[in-house]
Amino acid sequence: MKKSSLLLLITFVVVLFQGCSSKKYYEPEVVYDSNIAVYDLGSKITNINSDGATLDDGKFVSKEGLSSEFLEEGYTFLNKNNGVLLSTNDESFLAITKDGHTEKIQFDKNIVSATIEDNLVAMSFIDNSISLFDIKEKKVVFKEYFTVSILNDIRITNPIFLTSLVLFPTLDGKIVIVDKNKKTIYKTINLDPQNDIHNIIYLNAIGDTLVAATPNKIFSFVNGQVKILSDDIKNVAVKGKNIFVSTLDGRVLKYDERLNLLDSKKFKFAKFHAMVYGDSLYILESQGYLIQIDNDFQNVAVIDFSFDEKEKVMAIDNTIYFEDSYITLK
């Protein structure tokens, strides 16, 4: 009996070792030294959404860069737009800060995303409901509920105000378009209803083009035409009329605004963490590399870049934030 148990244990250890040793990693043939400046955030990232991050010293990162102001204790960053900072806490308070003055409003559910324009705040909640709140009238002027989503990607996107419309990304893979004047739903686009994790991780309106993505779908809406492609999506970046997508299996794809494939690159065994566009496309890879691809997708350079894949990472515009540092790629 003892011999059988020992043999079983040895077999298990051998199989486990072989499984670990057979794991494949991205190995570029040529690697260039880095001359990219790394800047100190002064604190570690504790919380991330698609538009920014909360740091453990109370500062935050937004599309404006590293803040000089501090969040109140217990609050996390939601959004900063039109000069107004939106943050929230675990007691369902929304803090609206402008010109050094903060107003707090409590709701009945925790807030996961928010955007403000004039007197209207567009919000989505942990129960996958959405609402418009009028801060002058102190009341909810629009509210709608959708299917509760249990599993969500942390890169939850904020609503977008677009002329007379508000675009709400939901946690169950929809884009709900609300007429902000009539306070009614104008259109609902069901982007990704089938997968377990299907919240919108990217939403951007660029001119006449609306681009959205879930972890499983990429969506383009331009001049009344809709196109949806399925893929295992890791990151999305947009430059001009080009849409760039990185995937879980190490591909980098270049599309036009109508999601016609223009070009692609495959990086065997690569695991991507973030992607931005500066003067070129840059993708941060888990083994400590920064992959640079020119706009024509002809030239590729792999840069040696020290990075711990366990660190929290996020990308905004042409800047990559990781743990307690950041780089800007111009």
Q: Give tens-digit pLDDT for 115-154.
A: 999 999 999 999 999 999 999 999 999 999 998 876 566 6
Segment 277-303, tens digit of pLDDT: 999 999 999 999 999 999 899 999 999
Q: What is the mean pLDDT of the chain?
A: 89
Look up the domain containing 88 and give its range: 51-195
- Backbone phi, then psi, for 203, in 5-degree steps? -150, 125
Mean local confidence (pLDDT), 68-83: 94
Domain annotation covers residue 33: no
The yes-or-no verdict on residue 188 having pLDDT over 70 is yes
CA gap 86, 253 in Å, rounded: 34
CATH number of the CATH domain containing 171: 2.130.10.10
CA distance 137 to 157: 26
Asked if residue 173 belongs to a domain, the reply is yes
What pLDDT is attached to residue 14?
Answer: 47
What does the CA dihedral 120, 122, 123, 124 come to, rounded to 10 degrees? 150
Distance, CA of 99 to CA of 93 (rounded, Å): 19
Q: Is the model's pLDDT at 191 over the cut of 90?
A: no
Is residue 128 situated within a structural domain? yes
Which helix (H) or strand (E) element contains residue 10?
helix 2-21
Residue 264 included in any domain: no
116 domain residue, yes or no: yes
Give a yes or no: residue 177 inside a domain. Answer: yes
Degrees, nearest 5: CA angle 237-240-243 = 35
On whether residue 66 sits in a domain, the answer given is yes
Predicted pLDDT at 151: 59
pLDDT tens digits for 59-75?
999 999 999 999 999 99
Q: Is 17 helix (H, G, I), strand (E, B) or coil?
A: helix
Query: According to the model, what pLDDT value does residue 1 have?
Result: 47
More confident residue, 99 or 198: 99
